């Protein structure tokens, strides 16, 4: 936009021009100035107008474990990102505890939250703009599956954001594996079109001390990316706990055996699906590679996939995508 001013008195004389816009998002104006003849002067600071209700300026996400057992410590992390062009001040982060959750104060997780009623609250004095971020962490215990969708953040400038993803932690009753006791068998009947039954056999000698093992069937929602693979409808977690403490990615002394019975007429009936393990780097690898010399064996007669597993964590059935290239004939 351009204005012309015929004259301007000296010794502090001033002129003012105004204009109005109708914004759809937060505005930043850093390109303005004045020219007299060949002399130009640019504006010395940027002017930002924060549009209340702008859903892109401030964002919050939450991460937590997909599975646990009753009484175990369950850590959650909230991350706030300031996408606006200015530093925000007086941020308040809140997370409402779901029914069945008990907040556990932990001085090692800073900044420490404050519990009021069923809401945990953090105050952050300021957060730089253009992608500045801050994270807060807390822990709870639970008595049953926890579902949390009520978390958010607001700033003194009037910006706010609510969590867009529901975080679910499935809690299941654990089994005890004692190195001096019998082998432990976990079974699950699966109401799926791809798989109908899971059997996990844990030898007592797989552990050196008495541990709790927690098995939980998980949904496909929020499944980590698996390039080149299609999801076979079945995902589960198997973890070990020393008392209430998770032993992430525990490597066993001896392999346990996983057997998945596939539906005879389902999408995995041809035996082309495999069981995969979510590695620490976030990528999926075939589950038998957790053992030094593991192999997945498919029985076409029994429609069963059997393999050894030497490391605990998250598992899922996947099949490899096959690409078919068809000729295209173009005619005038």
Taking 60 as the threshold, does the pLDDT of residue 165 lie above it?
yes
Residue 12 lies in a domain: no
Residue 85 lies in a domain: yes
Q: What are the pLDDT digits (tens) for 39-94? A: 777 776 556 566 655 568 899 999 999 999 999 999 999 999 999 988 999 999 99
CA angle 233, 170, 75 (to 5 degrees): 125
Count CB atoms within 10 A of the CB of residue 274: 22
Boundary of a domain, candidates 114, 140, 170:
170
The model carries a pTM of 0.79
Least confident of 12-21, 70-79, 123-132, 230-239: 12-21
210 shares its domain with 136: no
104 shares its domain with 180: no
Residue 275 lies in a domain: yes
180 shares its domain with 316: yes
184 shares its domain with 235: yes
Boundary of a domain, candidates 170, 199, 222:
170
227 shares its domain with 105: no
Q: For the chain, first and last CA: distance in Å?
A: 51
In which domain, by residue range, is 68 found? 58-170
Q: What are the pLDDT digits (tens) for 261-314? A: 998 887 666 668 899 999 988 899 999 999 998 899 999 899 999 999 999 999
145 shares its domain with 160: yes
Residue 139 lies in a domain: yes
Domain count of the fold of the chain: 2
80 shares its domain with 133: yes
Taking the alpha carbons of 252, 211, 66, 264 in that order, is the dihedral positive or negative?
positive
143 shares its domain with 193: no
Q: What are the pLDDT digits (tens) for 107-138? A: 554 567 899 999 999 999 999 999 999 999 99
Residue 221 lies in a domain: yes
The confidence score (pLDDT) of residue 40 equals 79
271: Cβ contacts below 8 Å, ≥ 6 apart: 262, 298, 300, 303, 305
Share of the chain above pLDDT 90, in %: 60
198 shares its domain with 270: yes
244 shares its domain with 276: yes
Residue 261 lies in a domain: yes
Taking 70 as the threshold, does the pLDDT of residue 27 lie above it?
no
Residue 42 lies in a domain: no
C-alpha 116/C-alpha 114 separation (Å) is 7
237: Cβ contacts below 8 Å, ≥ 6 apart: 66, 67, 170, 214, 215, 216, 218, 313, 314, 315
What CATH number did the domain enclosing 146 receive?
A: 2.60.40.290
119 shares its domain with 239: no
SS3 56: coil
What CATH number did the domain enclosing 248 receive?
A: 2.60.220.30
C-alpha 4/C-alpha 6 separation (Å) is 6
The confidence score (pLDDT) of residue 8 equals 78
Boundary of a domain, candidates 140, 170, 200:
170
Residue 180 lies in a domain: yes
188 shares its domain with 268: yes
């Amino acid at each position: 936009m351009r204005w012309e001013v015929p004259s301007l008195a000296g010794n502090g004389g001033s002129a003012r021009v105004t204009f109005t816009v109708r914004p759809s998002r937060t505005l930043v104006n850093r390109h303005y100035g004045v020219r007299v003849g060949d002399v130009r002067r640019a504006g010395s600071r940027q002017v930002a107008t924060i549009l209340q209700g702008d859903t892109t300026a401030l964002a919050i996400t939450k991460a937590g474990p997909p599975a646990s057992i009753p009484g175990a410590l369950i850590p959650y992390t909230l991350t706030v990102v300031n996408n606006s062009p200015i530093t925000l001040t007086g941020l308040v982060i809140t997370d409402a505890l779901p029914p069945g959750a008990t907040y556990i104060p932990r001085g090692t997780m800073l900044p420490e939250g404050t519990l009021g009623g069923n809401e945990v609250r953090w105050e952050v004095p300021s957060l730089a703009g253009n992608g500045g971020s801050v994270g807060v962490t807390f822990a709870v215990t639970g008595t049953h599956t926890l579902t949390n969708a009520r978390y958010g953040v607001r700033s003194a400038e009037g910006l706010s954001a609510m969590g867009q993803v529901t975080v679910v932690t499935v809690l299941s009753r654990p089994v005890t594996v004692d190195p001096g006791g019998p082998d432990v068998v976990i079974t699950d009947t699966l109401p799926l079109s791809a798989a109908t039954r899971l059997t996990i056999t844990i030898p007592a000698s797989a552990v050196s001390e008495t541990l709790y093992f927690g098995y939980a069937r998980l949904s496909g929602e929020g499944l980590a990316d698996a390039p080149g693979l299609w999801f076979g409808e079945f995902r589960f977690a198997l973890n070990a706990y020393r008392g209430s403490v998770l032993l992430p990615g525990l490597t066993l002394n001896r392999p346990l055996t996983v057997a998945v019975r596939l539906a005879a007429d389902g999408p995995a009936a041809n035996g082309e699906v495999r069981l995969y393990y979510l590695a620490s780097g976030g990528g999926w690898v075939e589950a038998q590679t957790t053992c030094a010399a593991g192999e997945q064996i498919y029985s076409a007669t029994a429609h069963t996939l059997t393999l050894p597993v030497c490391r605990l964590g998250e598992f899922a059935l996947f099949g490899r995508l096959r690409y078919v290239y068809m000729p295209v004939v173009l005619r005038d």
